[in-house]
Chains A and B, each alone.
Chain A
């Protein structure tokens, strides 16, 4: 490996770049679908973000309004907690700079379904929501922005011209998550709600925490709620769409707006992974054929002294897997920088609303997946050259592999 420095460097470069791309991709998917803090109950958390209204055979889709949700999506037997929330944005001017912030209007239940880590203070409670108290829970990034490193608790800052008092500071959620925000305030302080909330159509989502992982019960209950006459006047029927993060991901990746299709999702993700891996694997096969070809004499010697084709395939594939694992570790390291670079790139499109640079987190799941990808890449790129070499005529191999 060290003696063939050129081929080893080329191989390591190919592997590390491939693993880097795969890691960033896997980290992105992991943050969308896995039960990472603060969304530790993702597999039994449904986000209701769409209502379909049917009238005279025509369907109209809408984001539900808070009043619709509060009237129809409450006191479900199959759920433990239900929270309502909406995401808005506000602009702040500080030290001559204009910055955009994500603002979430929500209720006290939001903090029961999620598991945010509070570095300071606490969440708002029912009373504060009922009374429309102008209190806020802010992310660490927002704290750093408004208050530098000083204590934020009890201090105020402006949102849309009104001053809110900080009562809690949380570690930021993933920006790819539905619960991500820079600032969380009680929905009762949403002054625009009269403008945005209609009978059915509005800007709010509901987050439903099911009692068990059997989500069919929740869906059945939601259906029965929608079957009650006069749920919404002037339409024939109403359907609400409530899905887990995984189902949402499946819907969007299978290009189906209404239902998740895991088969299609697997195909789409599979195609992306194959594209990420196949082209580098083909290049690695070629590099490996040349690299192993340079060891033809060694192969010939080993065969002369009793090595079987199986022995040689094992040896060469294991060597290739070791190189791949080294490349994979380099790729994993590079993925940290690559993800930050990607965030900077994304941020250039919307300089007001900047994503945190640590938006991509490499969890143990992602690490495990990368390890699996390394092994797969090692096998794909190693087996064929090793097999080809192991079948080589001994005499030609001893002469340096002129018939390879």
Chain B
């Protein structure tokens, strides 16, 4: 599903060159739930951003869903993200000016041929899946952290993406809420066969996934 070959990411300023990722080769299979672990600054999030096509590697190639995506134009990258990828962020990144349902609908706004009614229907279905169908008209700041992350999950799944990339999705939540969010992701992986790559610091959460990859100083160590 995701094939990373010789990925390197270097951040350059006038005086310093920082190697964030060094020669990463990684294969993630379709339907797999993978956790990426490592200390802060080891390159986990950078790798996830590269997988999510939000950032470009300095060197190397990315093949996703049998498609070489490294050299795609900005427009095609946007389309690929819209159709194939879903994101869950540690700090939720919900739009405060939009209601819960409008936040969830957002990915479908950029998909051609979907009517407003269809968007609403699918948003309600997604919210149903995460148990928040009673909160459609609320605004993000009226929700708890766990509820916000569940809205973010609904937003990530509304477009039926093949891959979900989650950057420390339980990092801002207490253990009970974290557990709830983790169970939701496990359920999605099992029932829908969605490939999930999750960056986490939490070993207990990582253990629940099918594979744990460890990173250190920009390199994959296991």
Contact = CB atoms under 8 A, between A and B. Distances in A.
Interface in A257-313: 297-298, 300-311
A369 B97 CA distance: 34
Interface in A17-44: none
A391 to B, nearest CB: 9
Contacts of B79: 306, 308
B215 interface: no
Given A297-B93, A300-B93, A311-B110, A306 B55 contact: no
Contacts of A310: 75
B104 to A, nearest CB: 11
A398 interface: yes
A359 B93 CA distance: 55
Interface in A318-346: none
Interface SS, A side: helix
Given A3-B96, A304-B52, 15 more contacts: A303-B54, A303-B78, A304-B87, A305-B87, A305-B107, A305-B110, A305-B155, A307-B110, A308-B74, A308-B110, A311-B110, A393-B55, A394-B54, A395-B49, A398-B54
Given A306-B78, A398-B89, A398-B93, A301 B110 contact: no
Interface of A: 3, 297-298, 300-311, 393-395, 398
Given A305-B87, A306-B107, A394 B93 contact: no
B95 interface: yes
Interface residues of B, number: 25
B93 A301 contact: yes
Contacts of B55: 393-395
Interface in B91-113: 93-97, 106-107, 109-111
B189 interface: no
A298 B95 contact: yes
5 contacts: A305-B106, A305-B155, A306-B81, A306-B82, A398-B54
B213 interface: no
A306 B81 CA distance: 5
Nearest to B81: A306
Interface in B41-59: 49, 52, 54-55
B188 interface: no
A79 B183 CA distance: 91
B54 A395 contact: yes
B94 to A, nearest CB: 8
A301 B75 CA distance: 16
B64 interface: no
Nearest to B98: A298
A297 B95 CA distance: 8
Given A298-B95, A301-B93, A308 B54 contact: no
Interface in B69-94: 74-75, 78-79, 81-83, 87, 89, 93-94
